[in-house]
Structure 1
Amino acid sequence: MPQARLEHTNITVADPKATAAWLCDVFGWHIRWQGPGMQTGYTVHVGTDESYVALFSFGDARPRQEDSYRTIGGLNHIAAFTDDIDAVEERVKRAGFTPINHAEYAPGRRFYFLDKDGIEWEVASHQP
């Protein structure tokens, strides 16, 4: 059977341009496209040539009110994979975020951080 792959995810943020800027700085991604949303608002697509995160805002977004881990359909976290977890962690800190929940897992390490919109990001690596 042909295998499908994840092409993108779409999330609402307060400021798509600002979020795209730190994603480029922290993860080394690039902006693939940006402009008006399909019906309203503004969107920035940021990621790699193979996949991306679509960052959307109506311009009047409200902070999340519920715990995503207890809400069906809630976004729990977005994970990025790297070959140099220590370098990415330093860039996370320089971007003003606090790495938390460091852990080892087979076959590597991971940590998490919350961005300014309260979105949880995981950074994982197969580095020991």
Structure 2
Amino acid sequence: MPHGNIEHVNITVTDPDRSLHLFEKLLGWKERWRGPSMLGGRTIHVGDEDNYLAIYTNDEVKGGFSKSVPLNHVGLQVDDLDAAEQVVLAAGLKTFSHSDYDPGPRSFYFFDWDGIEFEVVSYE
């Protein structure tokens, strides 16, 4: 039986550098690569040695995406949920839907500047 994992997720944003800095602080990730996209525009890869976010933009990206069109949210796992929330708040973003239920993880959600929803979870 095959085994796999998500190697990367590609998101479209209005300001890739702003998103890069958020994910560096939130997840301890580093910029892996940046350059022109094959279809125009530019992309930054931020992540660790196993997985990453590809953060894409072009001159036509205006932001303001709608939840569930077509993506519901991206789940991010951290080792310190309280510290992660402080990073999100310091970036000027709002958190919501905090949960702490058994046997699930503690979590909260936030929308980035472009309307992309993220869930941050911790199994601490």
TM, length-normalised to structure 1? 0.88
Aligned-partner residue type, residue 112 of structure 2: D
Distance 1:13 1:63 in 2: 6
Deviations 1:76-122 (A, max 9, x none): 11111011111111111111111111012323210001111111111
Gaps of at least 5 residues in structure 1 are none
Kindly provide the amino acid, as one letter, of the partner of residue 117 in structure 1.
Answer: D
Partner of 1:78: 74
Give runs of aligned pairs for residues 17-36 of structure 1, distance below 5 A.
17-36=17-36
Aligned counterparts of 1:4 and 1:108: Cα–Cα separation in 2: 22
* Alignment RMSD (CA, Å): 1.5
What's the % identity of the aligned pairs?
40
Retained in 2: the 8 A contact 1:33–1:46?
yes
Unaligned runs of 5+ in 2: none
1:109 correspondence with 2:123:
no
Question: Equivalent residue for 1:68?
Answer: 67
Is residue 118 of structure 1 aligned with residue 95 of structure 2?
A: no
Maintained 8 Å contact 1:26/1:95: no
Task: Kindly report structure 1 stretches of 4+ aligned residues shifted beyond 3 Å.
Answer: none
Deviation, 1:27, is 1.8
TM-score (structure 2 length as normaliser): 0.90
- Partner AA of 2:67 in structure 1: S
